[in-house]
Amino acid sequence: MRFRSLCPGQYDHELKLVVAGRAGWLYQDILITVKSLGLEEEVVFTGVVEESNLPDLYRGAALFVYPSLHEGFGLPILEVRAYSIPVITSNMSSMPEVAGQAAMLVEPRRPEALAAAMASVLSDVQLRDNLRNEGLKRAKQFS
């Protein structure tokens, strides 16, 4: 499935998949896959994003996907909540505890589950609004 097919016509602009952070394990494999699928225009690799630039990145996001396998706490989930962005994250590690009922939880090793969750959030206004509202409430529970 091409990324743009997740939710055709839902937004005034074309959606991009923005991958932020340093190049980690399997990075070269991911780049090769993106190129082999012809997704170079749809997938943007930012590299490390300076903390001062995160607000701009968050403000432009339709949703935040954080499929972490191992996480001590999951601070980015709380950070993004301040911008009222729906969250999709892992159903493992500390993610369920941090996210509570305010995020869609998925098996991070199942790409089809991630794609289905992204399509659901992008196409269902009520779900998107619920995740935004619950996310803001959840964020207030942390200092």
- Please, where are the H alpha helices in the chain? 27-36, 54-59, 75-81, 95-99, 111-123, 125-139
The answer on 65 and 43 residing in a single domain is: no
1 pLDDT band (50/70/90 cuts)? very low
What's the pLDDT score for residue 37? 85
Once rounded to an integer, what is the mean pLDDT over residues 98-116? 92
Give the residue-averaged pLDDT of 19-46.
90
| 3 assigned to some structural domain | no
Q: Would you state the structure tokens that stand for residue 9, as one six-digit string?
A: 């016509």
Query: Could you tell me if residue 128 is inside a domain?
Result: yes
Q: Assess if residue 25 is contained within a domain.
A: yes
Three-class DSSP labels, 56-72: HHHHCCCCEEECCCCCC
Report pLDDT for 24: 85
- Calpha distance 136→15 (Å, rounded): 24
Q: Which structural domain, as residue segments, surrounds residue 66?
A: 61-143
Model confidence at 15, pLDDT cuts 50, 70, 90, reads confident
